[in-house]
């Protein structure tokens, strides 16, 4: 097994221990274009959970910004927050699974 394959796979597996740091370092240090491609793809996939968490935080602040009055619809009374929480959790789970699968594929 070559070192380049291991580095490319580690970029994907770094979702568990160094989601941004390792792919950025590998991208700038390694000269192999295939490893750089994997580092870039893993970095983009590591950004997706950050974006979904940011969206969840924005959605949780939305009812507060509207002035949470009684008699509001389900959409503005917290239901949207819970739907956002579930959607963000599902997206993050898919991203973690995708990173593990891609890391295993690179090692083969």
pLDDT tens track for 84-106 = 788 888 999 999 999 999 999 99
Return the number of other C-beta atoms located less than 10 Å from residue 42's C-beta: 29
DSSP 74: T
Comparing 6-15, 35-44, 69-78, the range with the smallest average pLDDT is 69-78
13 pLDDT more than 80: yes
> Residue 78 class from Cβ within 10 Å (0-12 exposed, 13-18 middle, 19+ buried)?
middle
Q: What is the pLDDT of residue 63?
A: 59
Q: What is the pLDDT of residue 72?
A: 55
Residue 67 and residue 57: Cα distance in Å, rounded? 16
Banded model confidence at residue 2, pLDDT cuts 50, 70, 90: confident
16 pLDDT more than 70: yes
pLDDT tens track for 55-67 = 777 767 765 555 5
In this prediction the pTM is: 0.77
Q: What is the pLDDT of residue 67?
A: 55
Across the chain, what does the average pLDDT equal? 83
């Amino acid at each position: 097994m070559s070192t380049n394959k291991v580095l490319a796979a580690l970029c994907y597996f770094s979702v568990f221990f160094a989601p941004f740091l390792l792919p950025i370092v590998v991208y700038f240090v390694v000269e192999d274009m295939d490893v750089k491609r994997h580092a870039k793809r893993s970095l983009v996939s590591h950004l997706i959970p950050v974006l979904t968490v940011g969206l969840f935080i924005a959605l949780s602040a939305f009812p507060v910004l509207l002035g949470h009055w009684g008699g509001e619809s389900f959409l503005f009374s917290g239901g949207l927050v819970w739907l956002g929480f579930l959607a963000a959790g599902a997206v993050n789970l898919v991203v973690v699974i995708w990173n593990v699968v891609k890391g295993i594929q690179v090692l083969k």
